[in-house]
Structures are given as C-alpha cells and as structure tokens.
Amino acid sequence: MSHCILSVCVIVLYSGAGALSYTLAEQTIPFRLLAQNSIFLVILFLCFALLKGKSESFVEIIVPDCQDAFKKTIDTMQVDLGRLVDVETLGGAIIKAAKKGLNVREVTLLLLDSNEYIFRVAGTTIKKQGTNPLNKNYHQEIVAYLTKHKQALDIDGVVLDFAHKELKNIVISLLNAYRAEVLIPLFARDSLQGILFLGERLTRKSYASDELLHLSLLIPSIGLMIENAKLYEEIKSVSDLKSNIITITSHQLRTPISAIRWGLDLIMKKDMLCNVSPVAENLLKDIYKNNLRAVTIIDRLLDLSEIERRKGTRMHLGKVNLVKTMDELAEEMSPLLERKAITLKKDFEKKTMVIEADQTKIFSIFSILLENAIKYNKQNGNIEIRMRTGEKKAKIKLPENEFIQLWVKDTGIGIPKDEKRNIFKKFFRAKNARAIDTDGTGLGLAYAKSLIEIHSGEIQLVSEEGKGTEFLVTLPKVFKKTGKNVYVL
C-alpha cells in the first residue's frame, strides 16, 4: 500500500510540474516525451514495489503522527474497556471499539471455554457467518502455540512460524473464515482467554510491523479484562459462594486501600502538591477520587454480605432531619447537575422532617437515588424530589402521620418493562443502563433497599423506558427493630 501511495505522489508531482512548464512556455507537450515519462513512471512504481518495506518506513516519515495516532487508539481502547465487568457487555464493547477505533472492516472475538476447553464465538461483525473451521481436536495445539509466542500475528507470520502443516492450514482457514488479516491472542498472565481477529483496515490494506507490536499491547490488558469478567459472572451465579468470596476479598482489600487513602490524605492536607508538576498533581487527584470510590464499593459489599448472611448490622440511631440531609446532598452533587444542565426541583412539606434513624445509612440511601437520577438522566433533563408526612398509604402497617415518604423522579432513560423485577437484585444492571454507564457495579439499588428495610421501610418504583423513573421511599418516624441481627448502638 505504501509503494502505491509514493508512486501516486511522484506521478502527480512529476506530471503536474511538466504540464505547468509547458503551459507557461505556451507549448504543446510532445507525444514522445509523454511516452518516455509513462515508461519512467512504470519503472518507478516497480522499484517502489520491490522496496515495499523501505517505502512503508518512508511513508511513516512523510505522514506525521500516523503511528502515534494508532498507538493512542490502542491506549484509549484499553482505558475504556477496563471499566466493564460482565462478559457479554465486554465482548460487545471489544468488537465495537476495535471496528471503530482501529478502522477495520470485520472483527471477531473467540473466547476459550475453560471447562470444555473449546473456543466459542463471543461476537462478530460478519453478518453471514459460515461454520467454524476450528476442529475441536486442534484446540489444545493452537492454545499451546499461542501460549509459546504471545504476539499479534498476520498471515505472513502464520505461514513462517507454523511448522505443523495441518495446524497451519487450520489457522489460515480461521483467518479466511473471519475475513481477518491479524489474530491477537488474549492472555491473563499465562492463561489464554480468547482470540481477537481483525480484518482489513479501511485506510491501509496491510498492517505494518510496528502496528503489530502496538496491537500486542492488547494481549495482557484485554486478556485480564476477560478473565475478570468471567470471574464476575461466576461470582454472580453462585449465591453462597459469592457472599463468602466477596466478604473475604473485601476484608483483604480494605486494609491496603485504606492505607493508600491515609497516605493520599496526608499528601493533600500537608500541601505537598506544591512541589509536584501539574501533570503529577492531576494524577494524584484522580488516584484519590478512584480510591474513595473503591472504599465505597468495598464498604457496600461488606454491608450487603453481612445483611445477606444475617451476621449482624450495626445501627447508630439518632434524630435525622431528612430535609437537611437532602439539601446537603443536593449541594454536594451540584457539579454533576450542572455538567448535564439538569434542573432540580425540591418540594418539601416542611423545613424540618425528622425521623429516628442511622444518619450515615439514610445519607447513603438518598445519595444512591439522587446519583442514579443524575447519571441516567438526559442532558437538560429534570429531577423532582418531594417529601410528605404519610401522604399515601404504604404497604407497611402504620398510621399516616407516623411515616415520611420521599419521591425521587427523573426524566431519564427509564427501566425496560421485563427488567423491573430484577432492578433491586445485587449485581443486576438493566441493558440500557449498561449502554450509558459502563462504570457501574449493580450494587447501589440493592444496597439502598437493604438499608431501607433495616429501618422497617420500603421502596417502590414506577418507570417507563425512554421517559423516566420514580422511586418512592417510605420510612417510619420511629425506628422499630426488625430482627435479632440488628444491633442498636
């Protein structure tokens, strides 16, 4: 491809210069000169074709930032995909990111089933796909070969490297079947997770050697993402095992993550940032923000696990002014509201509406509901928060004047009808929510529901996909212990 580009450039410049000189001289170009020039240009084209590797390097010099842009695309893919946690979403995102980001015609992702030790198609852009040419008998041999080499391979590399003729033919047939020019084995440490097939690039027909090196950067990163996503799926499928693993892992993670937070707190408070560069300062702030997010996730996991296993929940009871709590939260989240130009309307029956509750847990409930209303809202959307004393009969058996109700209504994406029943399940996320926000864990609403029920309250929802969602929280004014495993401090 590079020699074609160079030849065309030379032809255009040479012909243009010749035509211009004769035009200025007001002369007609002789036919003999045209014939000589044509022969010269054909010879020039053949020379560039023979020096294909050299011409490719030359093109990279005269077309600046070509490889830099390609590498930046690879880096962006790794960052964006690193936020995903389930196999289905991750597989689709890998296909989409590779096709759009790398500008290729076709992309196919095969994942290795570790139980049956066979490859399965996790996603492809090929509309009419034929039968999988990969013979089950050769899966182990291919895994062994890819494990040994661990690099992106084009068809030339396959032809040169494969000593086993039949195995080589199978790999070539795979490349042909998936209309691919490059295959990328995806590893997590030394364990093969899958194979990514990339088709012909729209901008350049063949992949340069340095581009294959850049693509090899995807091997460990995407491989680890797939391994994590598989682990996430396994954890979701086994309830008891899930709770135990989460509890043990969260406890183990809490100590080092808390130590990191303490160290970052010290740096921030001691004005040490004045001695670092602006780039380093921004990196430290990002680390600090993500560390706080990790602490929040771990705390929620531990609380949920304790509630599920009925190990015990500690309650620090006191008088909680729900109006003040919501006002403080709205102020805290004002930057998020401004970023999406969302209008927040508050309608409280009184300036002071007090219940007996755990202040931290109530703040967490309100925070989850308001954060979701912002996150899944539309640009220039609306959020309405209402608070009343026993305005509407709830399922809980209390007189109307003995409970307070909170409504949080948004104009966001809503919840699909067939997914409403699962919305309060741990780790569950609606499909349209995953498409908008890839960074979630599916813990928020499950955690909020658990905290509400500990307070002898309830949560209900009304939602229509594409129009918005309204949550109704009912909380008794006086705390009533729900069971033996709730410890009031």
CATH number, domain with residue 474: 3.30.565.10
Residue of 239, 235, 359 lying closest to 308 (CA atoms): 239
User: Where does 309-420 have alpha helices with state H?
Assistant: 322-332, 334-339, 359-375
DSSP states of 14-39 as a string?
HHHHHHHHHHHTT-PPPHHHHHHHHH
Of the candidates 37, 36, 52, the one whose C-alpha atom is nearest the C-alpha of residue 4 is 52
Q: Hey, how many other C-beta atoms are within 10 angstroms of the C-beta on 407?
A: 19
Average pLDDT of the chain?
Answer: 76
What pLDDT score does 55 carry?
Answer: 43
Tell me, yes or no, whether 390 and 418 share the same domain. Answer: yes
Residues 55 and 85 reside in one and the same domain: no
Residues 79 and 222 both lie in one domain? yes
Query: Is the pTM for the entire model greater than 0.75?
Result: no
Q: Give yes or no: residues 243 and 389 share one domain.
A: no
Domain that includes residue 184, residue range: 66-232
pLDDT digits (tens, 9 = 90+) for 264-298: 777 776 566 667 777 777 787 778 777 777 777 77
Q: Is residue 34 predicted with pLDDT exceeding 60? A: no
Residue bearing the bigger pLDDT, 392 or 56? 392
CATH number at residue 136: 3.30.450.40
* pLDDT at 128 exceeding the cut of 60: yes
Closest by CA to 146, choosing from 113, 181, 192, 180, is 192
Percent of the chain at pLDDT exceeding 90 = 20
Based on the fold, state whether residues 198 and 317 are members of the same structural domain: no
Q: What total of structural domains would you count in the chain?
A: 4
Per DSSP, helices labelled H in 25-135 are 31-50, 52-62, 66-81, 87-101
Same domain, 225 and 87: yes
Structure tokens at 417: 């009808």
Please tell me which residue, 100 or 73, carries the higher pLDDT value.
100
- Please indicate, yes or no, whether residues 166 and 57 belong to a single structural domain of this protein: no
User: What's the token pair of residue 328?
Assistant: 């403080």
Asked if residue 27 has pLDDT above 50, the reply is yes
191 and 85 both lie in a single domain:
yes
The residue whose two tokens read 């590498």 is 71
Decide which of 205, 232, 259 is a domain's last residue. 232
In this structure, the answer to whether residues 101 and 37 fall within a common structural domain is no
Whether residues 465 and 404 share a domain: the answer is: yes
The last residue of a domain, from among 208, 232, 256: 232
Instruction: Select from 368, 311, 315, 371 the least CA-distant residue to 340.
Output: 371
Among 308, 329, 352, the domain boundary falls at 308
Q: Which residue has the higher pLDDT, 406 or 228?
A: 406
Query: Does 84 or 476 have the greater pLDDT score?
Result: 476
Q: Are residues 453 and 317 in the same domain?
A: yes
Q: What is the pLDDT of residue 405?
A: 93
pLDDT tier at 482, thresholds 50, 70, 90: low
Per residue in 407-428, pLDDT (tens digit) is 999 999 999 988 898 899 877 8
**Largest CA-CA distance found in the chain, in angstroms, rounded:** 106
Residues 98 and 202 placed together within one structural domain of the fold: yes
pLDDT at 170 > cutoff 60: yes
Q: What's the pLDDT score for residue 248?
A: 59
